[in-house]
Structure 1
Amino acid sequence: MLNWDHVFATRSSRMRASEIRELLKLLDKPDIISFAGGIPDPALFPQAEFAQAYAELFSDGRAGAALQYSVSEGYLPLRTWLTEEMGRLGIACDVDNIFITSGSQQALDYLGKLFISPGDTALVTWPTYLGALQAFNAYEPTYDQLGLGNRTPESYRAAAEEQGSAVKFAYLSTDFANPTGQTVSLEERERVLAMADELDIPVIEDAAYQHLRYDGEAIPPILSLDIARSGGIDACRTIYCGSFSKTLAPGLRVGYVVAAKPVIRKLVLMKQAADLHSSTINQMVVAEVARKHFPAQIAKIRAAYVARRNAMLSALERHMPAGTQWTRPEGGMFVWVTLPAGMDGAELLARSVETEKVAFVPGQAFFADRSGTNTIRLSFSCASEAMIEEGIKRLGRLVGSTLLQAA
C-alpha cells in the first residue's frame, strides 16, 4: 500500500478540517438548538426570483451561452452591475477592476497563492475568519497579530525579519466581522492604510457582510478611502473581496474581487489554470436577480436578522451570569461571547450538546495562535426568536452551573 503521507506536499500538513463545517452536521438533528452555523436562513432566499431567472434563460435563446464555457474574468453584465453597486459604496471602478470567483473563499485562496511564499508573514486580526486561515495555511505563512492602533509598522517589520521573512499583506474583515460581529472604525481603517503604506503591502478587505447593516452609520470601505487618497483604483493597494452568499444565496458560489488591474490580471491567470471560469449559468442568473431584486432582497433579510439579533442580545442580558461579556454588533450574523476566565469553550460545547442540546462554535478556532479558549461564537441568522430565547436560557444555565462547580 502506498504511504500517502510520504508523497503529500509539506503544505498539506497545515490543512485542517473546518471545525465549523463539522458542527453544521448538528443542524440535521431536530433536538439541537444550533447557534453554530454562520449561514443565511434558506427561508429568506429569493427562490421564486431565481426560478424565474433560470426559466427565462431556457426560454429566450440564452441557454446555449448559459451552458457554454465563458471568459475567466466573469460574466460581463454581472461585472457591469457590480461597477454600479461599487459606485454606490464610493468605489469608482470599471469592469476590468472586477473579477468573478467561485465564492469569496476562492478569492482568499487565490490571494494566498498570489502573495505568500513559505515563511512569509501575514497580518491577521486576533480572532479572524477561520476560512481565511484555512485558505492561507496551505501556502505556509507565519502569522502576526494585526493591531488596529497599538502596533507600529516597524514592529511588524522587525518581527518578520527576526524570523527571516517579510510582511506580505494585512487581512481583515471590516464590517460585522466573522466571528466577532465587530466593525472596524473609520479611524482604524485609516490607520491600517497608513500602516500598509509604510510597509508597502496590500490590504485584503473582506466585505462579505457589507450589506447587512441594521443600525448605526455606514462607514466607507477601506478601498473607498484608498481611492480618495491615491486618486484612482489602479493606484490602490486595497483588494476588496465581496460575495452574494450572504445576500442572495450561497449555493450558487458567486463571489468577486475588486482591485487594481495588475492584481486582477494575475487572478485571471490563476483562474485559467484552476477551473477556467466560475459557473456561467449561475453568474447569469445572479446578474438577473441582482439587477431586478437586490434592494428588496436586502431589505427583507435586514428586517429578519435585526429582530433575531435583538432577541439574542436581550436574551443574553437576561440569562448570562455575571462575568460573561459579549459584543453588540450593528449588523451581520454573529455575537462573540467571552466566558469567565478559566472556562474552556470547547469543553463547554461538549457538555452543552450532551445536556442542554445547544450548539455553538468554540472561539479558539478563529485564533491563528490557538488562544481564545474562553470565547465562543453565536450565530442568530437561522434561529427563530423563540429558539434564541430558549437556547440562550439553556446556555446561560450551563455557564452558571459550570461556574458554581469550579468555585
Structure 2
Amino acid sequence: MSTWDALYANRAARMRASEIRELLKLLDKPDVISFAGGIPDPRLFPAEMFQEAYRDVLTGPEAERALQYGVSEGSHRLRSWIVAHMKTLGVDCAPENILITSGSQQGLDYLGKLLLSPGDTVLAQAPTYLGALQAFNAYEPNYDRIDPGTNRTADDFKAQADLKGSKVKFAYLSPDFANPTGKTLTWEERRSVLDQAGRLGCGILEDSPYLSLRYDGEPIAPILAMDCERSGGIDQTRSVFLGSFSKTLSPGLRLGWIVASRDLIARLVLIKQASDLNTPVINQEVMARVAEAVFETHTATIRAAYKLRRDVMLGALERHMPEGVSWTRPEGGMFVWVTLPAHVDAADLLEKAVGNAKVAFVPGKAFHSDGSGANTLRLSFSCAAPEKIEEGLSRLGKLIAETVIPAL
C-alpha cells in the first residue's frame, strides 16, 4: 500500500487502464500480425503537406502568434474551416458554435465534467467506445443500454433511472461506423434517438470521428443536422457533435472539435480555460492550412486504401472462420466486430493467439459498461497490408477451429 492510497478520490476506483493502449505495444513486435490498434496507417499521412505547413507558419509573419498562447475557443482560421465542413453535412453553424479540443477524447472528458454528477444516468450502446466509458467513469455515472430501433421507450429509460434515484443526462452514440462494431445508425434510428431525448429532456453526444470514411452506401445526415432542422437552429438544439482530424489527416497533432449551441460552448470554454488554457496554436494553424489544401483529396485516397483492406478482411473471414463465428459488415470506418460461440472468452483466446498464432486483436468485454461481451472481439483493418490480413485471419481461424469449436 502506497502513501497515496488513502488520499485518492472515490472516482479513482473507476479508473482503469485501457486494454487498447496496452495492446498497442504489440505493434512493436515484428512477428505479430496486429489487428488490435484502431489507428490510421501512418504510411498514408500527408507528411509532406504538414512539413510545408509548419515551414510556412514558422517562417511567415504569423510565427510569433503561432508560438504564443491562444484563445481558448481555438484558431479562427481552423474554426472557419470547420464551419464550412459542417455545412456540407447539413449543419449551419458559426465559429462561436465550435470549440477546438486536444482530440475528441478531451471533448468527451469535458462534456462528462460539465454534464455528469455522481449517480446520473448515461444512455450508451453496448458495446460502445472504450475511451468514452473511461472519460465518463471519472464522473461516477450509472449506465443504461440504448439500442436504437428496439422497443425500449423514453418512459422505460426514465423508470430505470428513477429506481436508482437518478436522472438521464445524455445519450452517447457513435452513429457512423462505430468503434468497436463498425455499425451505422439508419436515418430512422437517429430520428428515434432524437425523439426519445426530447421526451426525456436529455442531451445527445454524437461522436463521429469516422464520418468521412464511408466506402459503401449513401451518406446519412448527422443527428445534429436533424436537430437543427427540427428545432429551428443550432442554438436551440440538444445535440452535440464531436469531430476529429485523427482518423483523416493525423492523430499526432491531437486536434478535435465540438459543435453545439453557443450556450453550451461558452460553458465548455470555461472548462478549457481551467484545464489547459488552449490547444496548441501552431498545430491548429498547421492543420487549418493542410485541411484547406488537401482534406477532400486526401480522404478520397485513404477511403480507397481502407476499402480495399476492409474487403480483404471480410473475404478472409468468409474463407477462414469456422462455423459458429459471425461478424459485422461495416460500410466504412476501421473495424469489424466478431462474435464467437457463447462459451468462449476472447481474452483467453487472445493469449493463445499472440503466443501461438502471432496474431493480436482486442477482446470485446472492455467495450461493455456492464462487463458482458466476453465472447466478442474487435478486428481493425486500417494498418495491416492485404497479404497480412489474409495470413493473420488464416492463422486465427485455424486456432479457433482447433481450440474453440471442438469444445462445443
Shorter-chain TM range is: over 0.9
Which amino acid counterpart does residue 353 of structure 1 have in structure 2? V
CA RMSD of aligned residues (A): 0.8
Provide the rounded CA distance (Å) in 2 between the counterparts of 1:190 and 1:58: 46
Q: How far did 1:405 drift?
A: 4.0
The corresponding residue for 1:9 is: 9
Provide the rounded CA distance (Å) in 2 between the counterparts of 1:390 and 1:349: 17
Which amino acid counterpart does residue 238 of structure 1 have in structure 2? S
The corresponding residue for 2:64 is: 64
Task: Write the mapping of 1:369-384 to structure 2, written as runs, cut at 5 A.
Answer: 369-384=370-385
Query: 1:160-188 CA deviation, whole Å, 9 max, x = no partner?
Result: 11011111100000100000000011000
Provide the rounded CA distance (Å) in 2 between the counterparts of 1:265 and 1:84: 21
The corresponding residue for 2:201 is: 200
Task: Write the mapping of 1:83-232 to structure 2, written as runs, cut at 5 A.
Answer: 83-149=83-149, 150-232=151-233
Could you state the TM-score of these two structures normalised by the residue count of structure 1?
A: 0.99
The corresponding residue for 2:31 is: 31
Provide the rounded CA distance (Å) in 1 between the counterparts of 2:21 and 2:165: 35
Which amino acid counterpart does residue 9 of structure 2 have in structure 1? A
The corresponding residue for 1:298 is: 299
- Secondary structure at 2:169's aligned position in 1? strand
Which amino acid counterpart does residue 108 of structure 2 have in structure 1? L
| 8 Å CA contact retained: 2:324, 2:405 | no
Give the 3 Å change call, closer, same or farther, for CA 299–121 of structure 1 in structure 2.
same
Q: How far did 1:2 drift?
A: 6.0
- Secondary structure at 1:58's aligned position in 2? helix
% of aligned pairs identical? Answer: 60
**Which ranges of structure 2 fall in alignment gaps of 5 or more residues?**
none
Q: How far did 1:403 drift?
A: 2.9
The size of the alignment, in residue pairs, is: 407
The corresponding residue for 1:82 is: 82
Provide the rounded CA distance (Å) in 2 between the counterparts of 1:235 and 1:116: 21
The corresponding residue for 1:393 is: 394
Query: 1:272-305 CA deviation, whole Å, 9 max, x = no partner?
Result: 0000000100000000000011111101100100
Provide the rounded CA distance (Å) in 1 between the counterparts of 2:367 and 2:342: 18
Give the 3 Å change call, closer, same or farther, for CA 268–404 of structure 1 in structure 2.
closer
The corresponding residue for 1:271 is: 272
Which amino acid counterpart does residue 334 of structure 1 have in structure 2? F
Provide the rounded CA distance (Å) in 2 between the counterparts of 1:72 and 1:134: 24
Give the 3 Å change call, closer, same or farther, for CA 154–36 of structure 1 in structure 2.
same
Provide the rounded CA distance (Å) in 2 between the counterparts of 1:375 and 1:402: 16
Provide the rounded CA distance (Å) in 1 between the counterparts of 2:379 and 2:168: 32
Query: 1:323-363 CA deviation, whole Å, 9 max, x = no partner?
Result: 11000000000000001121111000001000000000000
Which amino acid counterpart does residue 176 of structure 2 have in structure 1? D
Could you state the TM-score of these two structures normalised by the residue count of structure 2?
A: 0.99
1:314 matches 2:283: no
Provide the rounded CA distance (Å) in 1 between the counterparts of 2:119 and 2:3: 27
The corresponding residue for 1:73 is: 73
